[in-house]
Amino acid sequence: MKSQRIFFSLALVVLLSSFQLIKTQLTITVRNDLGNTVEGASVKLYEKEEDYSKEENVAAEGVTDAKGVVKFKELKSLPYFVQVEKDELNNFGGGEQTGKLEANKINKVTIVIQ
């Protein structure tokens, strides 16, 4: 009986350790006005519109990869204001804001810069 309990406990530990809880994530794809993905674009996330307007208190930032994608992990489940720039292209004036991110999910957004 004792060996069965130990085996069951070990099996439970292995099962739980193989279970990963996904944290709230956001994957952003950046495209230009022709629909092509943009590599090397600077992407900044802001929690508040005031911070977005003043370009201060950045919640997270990154740069798009060769496929025009940047990933953010461990975010709060709320809407974010997104600022994207690459050379003379940007999304300024577009008031880009995500919808409220779904908790413990991989959320996806596409931003067009002009």
Query: Would you say 107 and 101 are in contact if contact means Cβ atoms under 8 Å apart?
Result: yes
Domain that holds residue 53: 22-113
Residue 103 sits in a domain whose CATH number is 2.60.40.10
Q: What is the pTM of this model?
A: 0.81
User: Within a 13 Å sphere around the CA of 9, how many CA atoms are in the beta-carbon half?
Assistant: 6
- Residue 18 in this model has a pLDDT that exceeds 50: no
CA distances from 2 to 5, 6, 9, 15, 39 (A): 5, 6, 11, 20, 59
> Quick check: is 71 in a domain?
yes
> Quick check: is 15 in a domain?
no
> Quick check: is 88 in a domain?
yes
- Residue 27 in this model has a pLDDT that exceeds 50: yes
Mean pLDDT of the chain: 88
State the amino acid at position 20 in one-letter form.
Answer: Q
> Quick check: is 54 in a domain?
yes
Domain count for the chain, please give it: 1
